[in-house]
Every structure is written in C-alpha cells, then in structure tokens.
Structure 1
C-alpha cells in the first residue's frame, strides 16, 4: 500500500502582499519621541556609569576613605564623650545615616564637571541634536549619578555594620533607602548641572562646589539634632534638602521617629525642580 501524500504546510492566516513586505525592509521604523524615550535614556546612562565602575574601581575605594574616617574618628570619639544629645540612640548609630547622605551628596555635587567635559569633547552637542528631550537627558544623567551614590551607600552601610551600628535589614526598608539615596543624588547632581550651565567652566564649578558642600552638610541634621541648633541654623536646615534625606534615612535604617511622607515629597519636588532647572540651561552650556 502506498503512503498517503504529505499534507501541504498551512498557509499563514494573514499573509502580507510582496509590496508591503518590501516596504517594511526599506522604510525605517518610526523613531520614538517625547517622553517615551525617558526610561531608555535613564537606563542607558545608568549602564554607562556601571561600565565605568566595572573597568575602574579605584573611585569606589578612594571615596570610601572619607566616610570611614567620619565614622571611625568623629563617630567613635563623640560616642565616648556624649557631647551631642541623641536620646537613647548611640551617637555612632545616629551619625551613620548622615554620613551615607553626605557621601552621596559629595559624589553628585560635582557631576556637572562631566557635563562640561562632554561639552568640550563634543558629546553634548551630539546628544542635543537627537530627538530625546533635554529633560530626559538630564534625568538620565541625574539618576546615573544616583547609581554611583547607591554603590557608595552600600559601602558606607557595610562599614557601619562592621563597627556595630544597629541597622535594619528589612528588605522593604532597604528599598526605601535606595529610593531616598537616588532622589537626593538626583537633586544634587541637577544642582551641579545647573551651576555648570551658569558658570560654563570646570574651574569655576569646582570652586563653587567646594564652597557649598560644607555649608550644606553642616547646615543639615547629619551631625546633630535640629533641636540643638541655634534658631538661624534651624531655618537653614528646614530649607536644606539634605536634612530631609537624612531624616528619611534615619527613620528607615535605625528606626528613629521620622516624617517619611514629608521627606519623600520634598525630595521628589526638589528632584523635579532640579531637572527642570538643569534642562533649561543645557542649551546654553552647549553653545
């Protein structure tokens, strides 16, 4: 008996005519525009920063020296002499979230130098002629700075844990720490890019950055409670976004009373205003 002939392969349900298939090969896909490119741009900038750290880890080691000194020398000494009232919380525990915020700010506050370098090398001009919105470029760079700050925060948390600081290891709280560090770093990097758009040179940016970092740090609640400050410094601390970042980190990491809703709202608003300000000056920087 002869075998039955094989059935022909089923035809596709909706075959395209040849002219339409050729048109798909010859016509490029429509470029994404507007805010649809924001997630891709943010992810791309973060990937670039991670690649830099992967090829050169020296920055991680050198930047870990300063927070380690703050915790080892300043924190241990003031814990012994009980000079700063922190209630039932040991001063070293009280200090650790402030040093995390400080180290993240120090990374972000000089991020504008990267923008000026990109302007000098022609990279910024090429980015600005793409259909990507300027605010999306700034957002990507701001959160790329946040990636570095998060890595730095992990290093500081590891040092603090080695020194015996009673930190929480609740995954949800650690995710909150991640969000707070990202938002704070986004604001300070946008502040740096705004200053870069005003001064236009690396030397001036370095000078201004060095001039404002310590006032921002000492004018916050990173080292001492707001109640221990004089009245004028309390007003400065209230207007300082770093204070809200430190307050949120303390509440999340060591469980002190905090105003997490207010802290996050202020950090989000500061980041949005910083992105808008830096984006408005990006074109001036590229001239």
Structure 2
C-alpha cells in the first residue's frame, strides 16, 4: 500500500499485468500526443524550428564547410539537425513533465487504478513517435537540398531507427532528471547547456580533425558523432558497423543507468506532498 498526500492507495494485481501496462500506456500516449497537437505554439515549434534550422545551416554554413572539407555538407547537417531536434524536443517534454508535476497531475494519475510504469512509458513512446515523424520530415526537406539516399526505403528505415536509438537514450536521461530533480532545480538551463555542447562538438558540425587534437577523442566518441556517421553511411551506401555498435552501446548504457532513477524519481514525485 502506498500513501499519496496522506491518502492510502492500493494497487490490484491486475494493474501489474503486461496487458494492463500495454493498454494503459497506449491510452496515455494518445493523451500526450493530443496535448502536443492542441498546443499550437509547441506543435509548430516542433515542425518549423528543425526545418528552418536545417535550411539555415545549408544557406549560412553549407558552402563554407563544403569548401573547407571537399564534402557535401548536407550529409552532415541533416543528421545533425535530426539529433538536435530530438534533444531539444525531449527537453520540452521534460519541462512539460515538471509542470504537470507542479499542478498535481502526477499525483492524480498515481492514485488511479493504472500500471505504475504506464505514464513514464507513454512519455517515452510519445518522444519516439515525435522523433520518427520529424526525422522523416527532415529527410524529405533534405532531399530538396541534396540529401540523396542511395539505399532507398531500407536506408530511410535505418536512419529513422538510429535516430530512435539516440532519441530513446536522451529522452530517458531527460525523464530521469526531470522526476529526480527538485522543482526549484535549474533543470532547463542544465539540459539546454548539455544539448548545446553536444550540438557544437560532433562530426556533423565540423570534421573531427578540425577540432584541437586534445579534444578530438571526446568529439569522436560522444554519442552524437557515431550516430551521425551511421546516418551518413546509410545515406551514401557505405558501411558503418563500428559506429553502429557504439550507438547501441551508448543507448543500452544510458537507458540501463537511467531506468531505475526514472522509476524511483517518478514514484517520489507522484507521492510527494
């Protein structure tokens, strides 16, 4: 028996079944998607900002990067913007979670006869759906500026899949921080700082050998770089097995580290007075 704000809450055995978890996660995922769509400003931001960012990178930096490296910058900027949109979208989801925590919604959900993991699962699923749709959108926009995918539908599916691996890990990290941090903690500046640092120090923003030698190992092995390299390889029909292994290792590692703090932090946030 759990206590929420002084009131006893009992959970039945049926709430802990896989069927209940799956069904209730689907219902709550629909709720999350409805909240996003109905918030016109957020919905437009999810769509417009990544597209405008991609076009800005192409117009402002495309020729400069291409001239310096001798490579088409589009194959770097499209994967980069896909990952950046995934990160900042997850930050927005973390902010929304904190707001719902402050309004008492998490506590109200916690006293309902639903699976304890369903709400967190729905938030993660919502992020994955958003990332998949935005990735397809950016691939389409990228095709108009030179991002030609030689492998057809299989390569497109691979790019979306790699984006989902990265997005799942980052979304889990954000959710764990959002439910574990105190309401007064500077969560937004911290997450924005992390996202910004990752955005400027990867192989999509600039070739690795263009960074200082002491920084190159960090840039090469931070999570965004192997993800970008796999996307680039899929688009151009090349092999990137080593980078894919590194992406999977990062994803599994981050989720493994963050899963328990996310579940424990959610319970603490939902049962706090």
Please state which band the TM-score falls in when normalised by the shorter chain: 0.7 to 0.9
Q: Kindly indicate whether residue 26 of structure 2 is the aligned counterpart of residue 75 of structure 1.
A: no
> Which sections of structure 2, spanning at least 5 residues, go unmatched?
1-11
Deviation of 1:77 after TM superposition, in Å, equals 4.0
Distance 1:68 1:30 in 2: 47
Q: Which residue of 1 aligns with 2:87?
A: 105
* TM-score, length of structure 1 as denominator length: 0.75
User: Which segment is superposed worse, 247-256 or 159-168?
Assistant: 247-256
Q: Which residue of 2 aligns with 1:214?
A: 196
RMSD, aligned α-carbons: 2.9
Deviation of 1:201 after TM superposition, in Å, equals 2.5
Q: Which residue of 1 aligns with 2:252?
A: 268
Asked if the contact 2:180–2:262 (Cα under 8 Å) also holds between the matched residues in 1, the reply is no
Q: Which residue of 2 aligns with 1:61?
A: 44
Asked if the contact 1:222–1:246 (Cα under 8 Å) also holds between the matched residues in 2, the reply is yes
Distance 2:28 2:152 in 1: 29
Distance 2:31 2:189 in 1: 27
**1:133-184: CA deviation from partner (whole Å, max 9, x where unpaired):** 44x5423312211212222222222221122321346223322233222232
Distance 1:72 1:285 in 2: 40
Q: Kindly indicate whether residue 224 of structure 2 is the aligned counterpart of residue 242 of structure 1.
A: yes
Asked if the contact 1:110–1:209 (Cα under 8 Å) also holds between the matched residues in 2, the reply is no
SS in 1 for 2:215: helix
Q: Which residue of 1 aligns with 2:34?
A: 51
Change (3 A) 1:148 1:133: same
> Which sections of structure 1, spanning at least 5 residues, go unmatched?
1-28
* TM-score, length of structure 2 as denominator length: 0.78
From the CA coordinates, give the structure whose radius of gyration is larger: 1
Q: Kindly indicate whether residue 159 of structure 2 is the aligned counterpart of residue 177 of structure 1.
A: yes
SS in 2 for 1:109: helix
Q: 1:193 aligns with which of 161, 175, 181?
A: 175
Deviation of 1:238 after TM superposition, in Å, equals 4.8
Deviation of 1:100 after TM superposition, in Å, equals 1.0
Q: How does 1:84-163 map to 2 (within 5 A)?
A: 84-85=68-69, 89-129=71-111, 130=113, 132-134=115-117, 136-163=118-145
- Tell me which of the two structures has the higher relative contact order, counting C-alpha pairs closer than 8 angstroms and 6 or more residues apart: 2
Q: Kindly indicate whether residue 269 of structure 2 is the aligned counterpart of residue 285 of structure 1.
A: yes
Change (3 A) 1:209 1:275: same
Asked if the contact 1:146–1:186 (Cα under 8 Å) also holds between the matched residues in 2, the reply is yes
